[in-house]
Structure 1
Amino acid sequence: MNIPDIDLPRVVVIGAGFAGLKLARQIDTRFYQLVLIDKNNYHTFQPLLYQVATAGLEPDSIAYPVRKTLRKKKNMYFRLTEVNQVKTQEKIVSTSMGELKYDYLIVATGATNNYFGIDSVEENAMPMKTLTEALNLRSKMLQNFENALNINDLDKRLELMNVVIVGAGPTGVELAGAIAELRNRILPKDFPDLDFRQMEIHLIEAAPRVLAAMSKQSSERAYNYLKKLGVNIYTDMIVESYDNNLVKTKSGKEFKTDTLIWAAGVAADHPDGFGDDLRARGNRLKVNEYLQLTNNEDVYVLGDAAYLETKDFQNGLPMLGAVAMQAGAYLAKQFNRKARKKKIHPFKYKDKGSMATVGRNLAVVDLKNSKLGGTFAWLTWMFVHLMLLVGFRNRVIVFINWVWNYIRFNNGLRLIVRPYKKKEDASN
């Protein structure tokens, strides 16, 4: 890889997500040469992917160019490539563009979908972890409504219209609420020939309640909000297969749908080169209190890829954007302190709460000393997410879209710009 050699320690960061980008923005490159690697040339604000999938926002509203973010930093190099392997003994990162030596390596590669070994679901379900997947989901749903207009068989038409979402964490709940609002307010205007009263939205969760990681009070509120919007909720239910548009569950319940959305779990996504002894639950890599890979002080792991047990989180820190951003800011600060020969401090995650939105004026927020719901929680959710977006332009665009959609009861432009093709069709 063509990176100049200079008389500074080289810090290689894999991943421009929440953790990697935070570190890259805050590390002092007067003391380090920074090389940031990612397979995309943009940072994606993943919490709002569901709004792209449901046509509430356009992709450029939640994506920001990496080069533009870091263009004022000296000794910084961005490379658009995929990492194949890390050779920790030789301190080399092997990529599709060649090999790159490092002095310090930061693995901030995030997470991918966890299908729990269900091959039929992995082959046929719709994931939503990337911008491309969100656009695929949007196109697929809109295409299904267009196709449903030309089908006389009621069962086949409903098969195209109905949606099943697996996983009632924040992503699943927010997606279910957004699709329900589309069905209730928007789609009947776009497709007056379809009876959307017959369209069903099913939300399936293996845990005893929705938003199981949040408080019981917020879980109950979210459940009631979803029921108010007309979402069918099934808890303590596990999906075992999805073939020929038929969702089968271990309890015997079955659903016919052409759209199964998988939001049921995540697993750490990192390159090869790390032994099984370094891996913990969710394929995460074990780190110490300084976020260093176990037994390797030159390799750091941040965000969803890292597994760190603490007194408050004995199953590892949660795989949340807040953890990733705090870890990125922490490590940048420690590198800056190291360059000035100052003492290094261990990482301490500060849990500032969690939140999820369900729909218009409907959200839940868990804070340390209070549990919020309804309109105030919804406004809180909006403000926090606006402030976390990268770039002033993105904040303005998202804010204007939200205000416009709220006033006009409209939800963006439902354009099929890039038609969705199934995997087998795309390969032909």
Structure 2
Amino acid sequence: MKEKHLNNIMLESSCKITDEICLPDTKLPRVVIIGGGFAGLALVEKLKNKNVQVIIFDKNNFHQFQPLFYQVATSALEPDSIVFPFRKQINGYKNVLFRLAEVQEIHPSSNVITTNKGKVHYDYLVMATGTITNFFGMDKVESHSLGMKDIRDSLNIRHMMLQNLEQAAITCDDKERDALTNFVIVGGGPAGVEMAGALAEFCKYILPKDYPEYPSSIMNIYLIEAGDELLNTMSDKASSKTLKYLEGLKVNVQLNEAVSNYDGNEVTTNSGKTILAKNLIWTAGVKGQFPKGVDKKHVVKGNRIKTDSNLKVEGYKNIFAIGDIAALISKDTPNGHPQVAQAAIQQGKYLGDSILSIIENKSVKPFKYKDKGSLATVGKRKAVADLGKLKFAGYFAWLLWSIVHLMSISGFRNKLMVGFNWVVSYFSYEKSNRLIIRNFNPKSSIKNREK
């Protein structure tokens, strides 16, 4: 016992000597990547097994496939089919390490980052921290609604939806039942459109089977968009076709309307309209998130970090930003590149080659984004596609969307799970994951979002 106590004292004292995170000693340049999203992992793939030491920091121990969050939220997929452990991802990469920690501050003068677990020195630092939901300063709306930027958000939406539907079957109050079964989605971009379509199919095919106590017509879905069209980053054809699809699914689309207030029971718009609803899902905007230490003069609209043509953060020699957080402002891209997966992946691949060139004292060409097109689905056999000059909609657009997303998911097992669920759903419209694993508590979900 005495020896064990002595060992504990020695361990404590050794922990107090240094607050650095333990990493293997190396003479190679150290590249620290903050964030394991599409951009961060694309960069890792380029640097794997090269003459650099790569450290990935993330507050989660898994990569999240964000394009399918809405399917988890509407019970079509289980969360473990669209997340993938970082350690499994980098298995076999001899020069890549993962550390579970949240980076709190950057110290550019000393080339050090501070995390909630300790400090780490870097030679090159890459911020790929992504975005969070932007409620545009509407605190009351934020406190009563749910975003969809994290797998936990998707589960919260699923649990909220199922709990409210169960409560609607219990209550004898018609007004309360209406509020419990009305769903409001704010934002007419891809996430909002896909969420509205999935909810509409749930209402049409699942509700009558699971809840024969009341007609499916009791569940109303509203999609509120502040602009005059849906999918405003896509073509007019895609926008009008999407509107037609949603209206065919009986989604109440309200254009040129913006939410001005929400108290958890009633939605108010800027024109004075009110909608009774206990379910509000916010997909209307995002803003960048990154650690302290970046000079505010380099932060632009949307809380994004301004970079030069080589994705280097302005004012710093060895700090870079990629993905949704980066804003490469130029004549061709006055608002930066689109905050989509393909832009993040291209930036990650480009920066991998660039860092290796910099280390070898070679010249670096500026980043050039190649738009490979846009896809959005509105439900089974219904999707829109803009591929350069080729613009089409319907079954083939949906098939293309399905193939692209299935191939983009990390892990063979995940591909298999998602593909199997989609095949079953294709023939039966069945959503087998209608489980309330834990009670949804709005207050606790808000606290978690603030952390």
Range into which the TM-score falls when normalised by the shorter chain: over 0.9
* Paired AA for residue 30 in structure 1: K
The answer as to 2:327 corresponding to 1:307 is yes
Task: Give the match for residue 40 of structure 2.
Answer: 20
Q: Conserved in 1, the CA contact under 8 Å of 2:145 and 2:264?
A: no
* Paired AA for residue 146 in structure 1: E
Q: Conserved in 2, the CA contact under 8 Å of 1:149 and 1:194?
A: yes
What are the residue-to-residue correspondences of 1:105-184 with 2, within 5 Å?
A: 105-184=125-204
Which secondary structure state, in structure 1, belongs to the residue aligned with residue 435 of structure 2?
coil
* Paired AA for residue 69 in structure 1: Q
2:309 to 265, 274, 289: 289
Per-residue deviation at 1:393? 1.6
Task: Give the match for residue 323 of structure 1.
Answer: 343
Per-residue deviation at 1:341? 4.5
Task: Give the match for residue 94 of structure 2.
Answer: 74
1:204-233 per-residue CA deviation (whole Å, 9 max, x = no partner) reads 001111111111110000000000000001
Task: Give the match for residue 11 of structure 2.
Answer: none
Per-residue deviation at 1:244? 4.0
1:254-301 per-residue CA deviation (whole Å, 9 max, x = no partner) reads 111111100000001111111220011100000001000002120000
Task: Give the match for residue 102 of structure 1.
Answer: 122
Counterpart CA distance in 2 for 1:323 and 1:151 is: 48
Counterpart CA distance in 2 for 1:330 and 1:113 is: 27
* Paired AA for residue 230 in structure 2: V
Counterpart CA distance in 2 for 1:111 and 1:369 is: 30
Q: Conserved in 2, the CA contact under 8 Å of 1:31 and 1:339?
A: no
Counterpart CA distance in 1 for 2:354 and 2:238 is: 36
* Paired AA for residue 250 in structure 1: N
2:429 to 406, 409, 427: 409
Which secondary structure state, in structure 2, belongs to the residue aligned with residue 293 of structure 1?
coil
What are the residue-to-residue correspondences of 1:13-412 with 2, within 5 Å?
A: 13-412=33-432
Counterpart CA distance in 2 for 1:355 and 1:43 is: 22
Task: Decide whether aligned partners of structure 1 residues 30 and 351 sit closer, same or farther in structure 2, where only a CA change above 3 A counts.
Answer: closer
Q: Conserved in 1, the CA contact under 8 Å of 2:48 and 2:95?
A: no
Which secondary structure state, in structure 2, belongs to the residue aligned with residue 420 of structure 1?
coil
Counterpart CA distance in 2 for 1:187 and 1:85 is: 48
Moved more, 338-347 or 207-216: 338-347
* Paired AA for residue 63 in structure 2: H
Q: Conserved in 2, the CA contact under 8 Å of 1:287 and 1:307?
A: yes
Which secondary structure state, in structure 1, belongs to the residue aligned with residue 198 of structure 2?
helix
Per-residue deviation at 1:339? 4.2
What are the residue-to-residue correspondences of 1:411-426 with 2, within 5 Å?
A: 411-423=431-443
Which secondary structure state, in structure 2, belongs to the residue aligned with residue 296 of structure 1?
coil
Per-residue deviation at 1:86? 0.9
Which secondary structure state, in structure 1, belongs to the residue aligned with residue 376 of structure 2?
strand
* Paired AA for residue 111 in structure 1: T
Which secondary structure state, in structure 2, belongs to the residue aligned with residue 204 of structure 1?
strand
Task: Decide whether aligned partners of structure 1 residues 386 and 424 sit closer, same or farther in structure 2, where only a CA change above 3 A counts.
Answer: closer
Task: Decide whether aligned partners of structure 1 residues 119 and 86 sit closer, same or farther in structure 2, where only a CA change above 3 A counts.
Answer: same
Aligned residues: 427
Task: Decide whether aligned partners of structure 1 residues 425 and 345 sit closer, same or farther in structure 2, where only a CA change above 3 A counts.
Answer: closer
Counterpart CA distance in 2 for 1:331 and 1:84 is: 23
Per-residue deviation at 1:180? 0.2
Give the RMSD, CA atoms, in angstroms. 1.3
Counterpart CA distance in 1 for 2:196 and 2:183 is: 9
Which secondary structure state, in structure 2, belongs to the residue aligned with residue 295 of structure 1?
coil
Counterpart CA distance in 2 for 1:58 and 1:333 is: 36
Per-residue deviation at 1:2? 1.1
The answer as to 2:31 corresponding to 1:11 is yes
Counterpart CA distance in 1 for 2:31 and 2:77 is: 35
TM-score normalised to the size of structure 2? 0.92
Per-residue deviation at 1:424? 5.7
Percent identity between matched residues is 44
Gaps of 5+ in 1: none
Per-residue deviation at 1:412? 2.6
* Paired AA for residue 201 in structure 2: E
1:288-346 per-residue CA deviation (whole Å, 9 max, x = no partner) reads 01000002120000001100124432211111111101101111122233444443221
Q: Conserved in 2, the CA contact under 8 Å of 1:203 and 1:233?
A: yes
* Paired AA for residue 345 in structure 1: K
